[in-house]
């Protein structure tokens, strides 16, 4: 039994959730999110409370139960308070800037790296601090991870990109005799 799936999810004032077929739509002051859910879990919306129940008592349905509850909580929270991730770019000559709807990075390669900013995300780049904001937690996290993957922080000099609260484990370099 899922502890997260059994809990009731309260819909706060100013947020509206509707379900039609397998599509759940959540509207709030910051925007609208829609997501398609499988029919293995029944989602009931009544009186400002969302409840989830499993249809079949198999392992797959049980695994989706808590996952869907977390997705719905994240959707409700996202339309109220947008999610935000911050990256720090460290290294001599490493730069980031935004032109239009595109990031342009200088990451020590022979060419600049261009990354298109997806719809629904706002991004800022000030000096070596990159801030990514959006109402969809999954989109914000995956886009931030894809940017970080361009140049991960390396353990010897600490150069590269890292999350704001991430601590890079430093290693000792080669010793000279």
Q: Give the three-class secondary structure for 38.
A: coil
Q: Is the pLDDT of residue 83 over 70?
A: yes
89 touches 150 (CB < 8 A):
no
Nearest of 107, 87, 79, 99 to residue 12 by alpha carbon: 79
Q: How confident is the model at residue 74 (pLDDT cuts 50, 70, 90)?
A: very high
Render pLDDT for 162-177 as a digit per residue (tens, 0 to 9).
999 999 899 988 887 6
Render pLDDT for 96-150 as a digit per residue (tens, 0 to 9).
999 999 999 999 999 999 999 999 999 999 989 999 999 999 999 999 999 999 9
Q: The whole model's pTM is what?
A: 0.90
* Percent residues over pLDDT 90 in the chain: 76
Q: Give the three-class secondary structure for 145.
A: helix
Nearest of 127, 158, 165 to residue 144 by alpha carbon: 165
Read off the pLDDT of each residue in 27-35 and give the average, rounded to a whole number: 94
Read off the pLDDT of each residue in 51-75 and give the average, rounded to a whole number: 92
As a whole number of angstroms, the distance between CA 73 and CA 146 comes to: 24
Q: Tell how far CA 94 is from the center of its chain.
A: 24
> 75-106: string of b/e by CB count within 10 Å (b at 16+)?
bbbbbeebbebebbbbbeebebebeeeebebe
- On average, the pLDDT of the chain sits at 92
Domains of the chain: 3-80 (3.90.930.12), 83-163 (3.90.930.12)
């Amino acid at each position: 039994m899922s502890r997260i799936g059994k809990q009731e999810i309260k819909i706060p004032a100013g947020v509206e959730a509707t379900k039609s077929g397998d599509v759940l739509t959540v509207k709030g002051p910051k925007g609208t999110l829609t997501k398609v859910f499988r029919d293995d879990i029944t989602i009931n919306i009544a009186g400002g409370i969302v409840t989830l129940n499993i249809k079949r008592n198999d392992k797959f349905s049980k695994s989706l139960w808590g996952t869907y509850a977390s997705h719905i909580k994240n959707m409700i929270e996202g339309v109220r308070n947008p999610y935000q991730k911050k990256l720090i770019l460290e290294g001599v000559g490493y730069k980031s800037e935004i032109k239009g709807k595109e990031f342009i990075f200088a990451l020590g390669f022979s060419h600049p790296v261009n990354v298109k900013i997806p719809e629904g995300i706002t991004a800022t780049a000030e000096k070596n601090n990159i801030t990514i904001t959006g109402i969809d937690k999954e989109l914000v996290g995956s886009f931030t991870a894809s940017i970080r993957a361009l140049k991960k922080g390396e353990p010897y000099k600490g150069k590269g990109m890292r999350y704001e609260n991430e601590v890079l484990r430093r290693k000792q370099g080669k010793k000279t005799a």
